[in-house]
Amino acid sequence: MSRTGFWIGALAVASVISASSVPAEAAAAKKSTRTARSTRARPLYSADQSLTRKAKLARARAVAMAREFAVTPLPRYKMDASGDIVPDLRAAAAIVYDPETNQVIWEENSQSQRSIASITKMMTAVVFMESNPDLTEPVTVARADVFQASTTHLHSNDHVTTDDLLHLLLIASDNAAARALARVSPLGYEGFIARMNTKAADLGLQSTHYADPSGLLSENVSSAYDLARLITYISGDERITSIMRTPEYTVYSGRRAITFHSTNHLLGRSDVDVRAGKTGFISKSGYCLATLLRLPQSSQQFAVVVLGARSNAGRFMETENLFAWMSNKVSSTLFATGTPTEAPQ
């Protein structure tokens, strides 16, 4: 099997040493070692330098993604026991699900319970929107929101709105935004998590359990089958799905502009019509993606979920492979029955 992903680049850190003068008394006391300790100069903070570093990191990530796509093996198909051509999956679990008929079109390990990382945030959005909140409500980001949040664009004491937090949650997969939404909800932080689990039970998601609203904890678990059903449920709320389809957004905290891009790299593609989607990754979960995609031949939609892919690029390529297989399957069926197809839009 080809290995996907790779490490590129390394950042060299230069230490600036300033010689310190040693008083005569201290030098006399340390004649045996003659060691002069140096102090490390601390550069002054510069907003321009910070933006430059962020731009360089963004370019490096883009280059890494492009190279990863280049070295990731092309998706393949295989023949199953009945002689049908089916996807040859390079991930731990996956499913193609028809939301209209609730039919599983294809699956592999779709009932297996796995860590789901930031795909957790789909339920975070569902529970927060249940109470029809005022999305203009101002929120001050708390220190606890950003503490060890891993992935966040927010700072303690930032002033944003709940709408800003929802966009950060679903576009940038911001962990501090997830914590802040749970904290300011009428349920309170702990009550919010309890409601996430109650909502999962209400929807019949038997393999799903939540331990926090962000997905940082590996105890957030579900299955490909449950997530296909959840994103089908979410498809009925345009307030959520419209945000999921947004590739880039900017929020403001005072004079600070916070611009972020979607973690879903299928957005903006001419060959894939993404109606909703959410990524997720921690080491325990692997690279995950839950999507709702529309076929180019018609308005028919399918939920495609990939869990435990081997690389960032891999989860998108696996999803594309499954969607292409489904598209060809539908086209072949329509052709065989003589049913006319709509021209691609």
Domain boundary assignment for the chain? 48-72+84-337
Better-predicted residue by pLDDT, 36 or 139: 139
Average pLDDT, the chain: 83
Q: Does 326 score more than 80 pLDDT?
A: yes
In this prediction the pTM is 0.77
Q: Which has the closest alpha carbon to 213: 198, 194, 227, 231?
A: 194
Single-letter residue type at 33: T
To the nearest 10°, report the CA torsion of 23, 24, 26, 27.
110
Q: What is the pLDDT of residues 247-297, one digit of tens each?
A: 999 999 999 999 999 999 999 888 889 999 999 999 999 999 999 999 977
Count the alpha carbons within 13 Å of 15 in the hemisphere toward its beta carbon: 6
Contact 210, 116 (CB under 8 A): no
- Residue-wise pLDDT for 15-38, tens only, equals 333 333 334 344 443 444 444 444
Give pLDDT, residue 67: 64
Q: What is the CA radius of gyration of the chain?
A: 24
Tell me which amino acid residue 36 is. A
Q: Which residues of 233-267 are buried (b: 16+ CB within 10 A; e: fewer)?
A: bbbeeeebbebbbeeebebebeeeebebebbbbbb
| The domain over range 48-72+84-337 is classified in CATH as 3.40.710.10 | yes
Give the span between the Cα atoms of 103 and 292, in whole angstroms. Answer: 14
Q: 14: buried, middle or exposed (CB in 10 Å: 19+, 13-18, 0-12)?
A: exposed
